[in-house]
């Protein structure tokens, strides 16, 4: 067994790398297509099937086992190293992205599935001890999978991004192939050519890793309409800032968060309507809102202190330091009245013992499980627990026109926790028709909890004196609470509550995305 330690090491490496490729394909597909549950499920299921298929095919390989093993290493290295690039190019230039995704999964899975049977026969052929051979191989294989699954989210993606991670993993596969060729060259037919090919391919992967930033810029220029002026992969998300003349846009995981041309419409509606209803505005909690725009509007109230909970420290730092963004948010993130805490909003509410007069929920759309939890009944219950008497919650609620079920699901979920809910919406050119759900625990002079949708005395809602706005007026507020027939669910639409244990919101939202693509 001593003479095969190198082969066992390659088993560990190829297993770790193949796990990284599997996660890359799932993550890229979630990023580009959405519906992360579907993407990860399809990738894992198809990959496992392909491994079984590869294991089946290996029985037809009867000789030149070392040659076949090196070929597998080379094949996995090339396919895996190019996996991210091929997926992004497919999204840019082909109509059938899924076809490229499925082919990648099947090819990589098939090669990896053939590896263990072939390696078992190589080692067992000389040692004649199948018990030790199998236990050693599977041990290294499983440990490699564990290393890859941990390294991807904690180290590789945050530090390197999609392209460099794929190229680095491909480099490791080709390094293994190169080592095997040099170590066992006497047992490999055409070893000279294998040495040359593996070295050249290894150099190619290293070059790909070195120029991954250039590749990323090329791909992003195709994905985004405007010039990309900043791109950063953080531990939690991909942040991109684009610019076209005076239009600055910030994207998170490919979804636009604001356009400098019209963001004031969204943020004025998000902030000033609940602030007009609230009786106590001394302490306001923002969940999300890391761009600082909501904080900018809240700072117009001199009596208000703000606690902002945003998961991503790199996001809040960008919006505290970047000159283009600080000009938009009027340097709100650096105000003495804004306390920024970088942690998960759900976790914060679980531990919070402070009370707030207003809670602003300004989170990204619920397109995955982690975000759907922040639109659940339990999350809104916890929001209510940190609310003062007669306090107000306002939730950004996606579009009542483009994602009708999602919007009214939020309304119904808030109602299930005892809130009187007043939905409203407005046109934001960058987003289209966009909606909010304002909720109060007890009836007050503005919101009366009767019927399926609470009545709102819009004549009593007025923007405070001295509060400067670009869009909102006391005259146009009442129009925001009116919905057209095509912005309400149909008679046959049965909308469920978004429970923590049954996140129907993900399905509603992803169905809406597919319908409008």
| Angle formed by the axes of helices 65-81 and 191-210, nearest 10° | 20
Question: What CA–CA distance (Å, rounded) separates 425 from 411?
Answer: 13
Provide the token pair at 468.
């400067």
Question: What CA–CA distance (Å, rounded) separates 262 from 431?
Answer: 9
Bridge pairing between strands 447-448 and 387-396:
unpaired
Helix (H, G, I), strand (E, B) or coil at 375: helix
Q: Which residues on neighbouring strands pair with residue 420, listed in sequence order?
A: 440
Beta strand segments in 234-302, E:
238-244, 247-252, 255-259, 283-288
Q: Tally the C-alpha atoms within 13 A of residue 203's C-alpha that lie toward its C-beta.
A: 6
Bridge pairing between strands 283-288 and 305-309:
parallel
Q: Which residues contact 86 (CB under 8 A, 6 or more apart)?
A: 100, 104
Cβ-contact 505, 409 below 8 angstroms: yes
Query: At 228, phi and psi to the nearest 5?
Result: -80, 120
Q: Enter the DSSP assignment of 224.
A: S
Question: What CA–CA distance (Å, rounded) separates 440 from 455?
Answer: 12
CB atoms within 10 A of CB 53: 15
Q: Enter the DSSP assignment of 463.
A: P
Q: Which residues contact 78 (CB under 8 A, 6 or more apart)?
A: 170, 201
Question: What CA–CA distance (Å, rounded) separates 169 from 176?
Answer: 11
DSSP string, 307-334: EEE-S-HHHHHHHHH-HHHHHHTTTGGG
Question: What CA–CA distance (Å, rounded) separates 191 from 196?
Answer: 9
Q: Enter the DSSP assignment of 299.
A: T
Q: What is the CA radius of gyration of the chain?
A: 27
Per annotation, catalytic residue among 35, 291, 362, 433: 362
Q: Enter the DSSP assignment of 125.
A: H
Active site includes 362?
yes
Question: What CA–CA distance (Å, rounded) separates 113 from 136?
Answer: 17
Q: Which residue numbers are catalytic?
A: 362
């Amino acid at each position: 067994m001593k003479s095969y330690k190198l082969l066992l090491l390659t088993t560990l490496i190829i297993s770790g790398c193949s796990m990284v490729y599997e996660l890359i394909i799932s993550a890229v597909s979630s990023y580009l297509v959405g519906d992360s549950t579907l993407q990860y499920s399809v990738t894992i299921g198809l990959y496992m099937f392909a491994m079984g298929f590869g294991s089946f095919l290996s029985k037809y390989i009867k000789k030149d086992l070392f040659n076949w093993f090196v070929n597998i290493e080379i094949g996995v290295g090339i396919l895996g190293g190019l996996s991210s690039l091929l997926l992004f190019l497919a999204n840019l230039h082909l109509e059938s992205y899924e076809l490229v995704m499925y082919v990648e999964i099947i090819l990589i899975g098939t090669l990896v599935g053939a590896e263990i049977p072939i390696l078992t026969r190589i080692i067992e052929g000389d040692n004649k001890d199948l018990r030790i051979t199998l236990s050693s191989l599977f041990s290294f294989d499983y440990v490699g999978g564990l290393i890859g699954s941990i390294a991807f989210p904690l180290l590789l993606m945050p530090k390197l991004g999609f392209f460099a991670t794929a190229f680095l993993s491909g480099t490791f596969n080709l390094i293994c192939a190169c080592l095997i060729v040099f170590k066992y060259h006497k047992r490999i037919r055409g070893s000279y050519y294998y040495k040359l090919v593996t070295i050249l391919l290894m150099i190619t992967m290293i070059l790909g890793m070195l120029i991954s930033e250039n590749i990323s810029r090329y791909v992003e220029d195709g994905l985004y309409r405007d010039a990309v002026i900043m791109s950063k992969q953080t531990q939690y998300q991909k942040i991109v800032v684009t610019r076209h003349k005076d239009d600055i846009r910030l994207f998170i995981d490919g979804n636009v968060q604001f356009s400098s041309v019209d963001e004031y419409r969204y943020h004025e509606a998000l902030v000033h309507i609940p602030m007009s209803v609230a009786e106590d505005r001394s302490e306001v909690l923002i969940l999300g809102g890391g761009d600082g725009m909501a904080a900018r509007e809240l700072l117009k109230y001199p009596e208000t202190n703000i606690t902002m909970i945003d998961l991503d420290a790199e996001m809040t730092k960008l919006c505290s330091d970047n000159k283009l963004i600080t000009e938009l948010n009027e340097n709100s993130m650096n105000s003495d009245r804004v306390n920024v805490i970088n942690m998960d909003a759900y976790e914060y509410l679980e531990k919070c013992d402070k009370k707030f007069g207003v809670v602003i929920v300004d989170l990204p759309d619920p397109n995955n499980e982690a975000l759907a939890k922040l639109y659940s009944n339990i999350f809104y219950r916890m929001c209510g627990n940190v609310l003062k008497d007669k306090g107000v919650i306002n939730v950004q609620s996606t579009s009542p026109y483009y994602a009708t079920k999602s919007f009214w699901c939020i309304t119904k979920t808030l109602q299930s926790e005892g809130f009187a809910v007043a939905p409203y919406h407005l046109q934001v050119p960058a987003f289209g028709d966009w909606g909010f759900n304002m909720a109060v625990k007890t009836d007050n002079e503005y919101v009366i909890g009767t019927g399926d949708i609470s009545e709102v005395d819009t004549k009593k809602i007025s923007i405070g004196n001295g509060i400067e706005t670009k869009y909102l007026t006391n005259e146009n507020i009442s129009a925001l609470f009116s919905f057209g027939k095509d912005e309400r669910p149909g008679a046959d639409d049965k909308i469920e509550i978004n429970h923590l244990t049954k996140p129907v919101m993900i399905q509603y939202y992803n169905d809406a995305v597919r319908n409008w693509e």
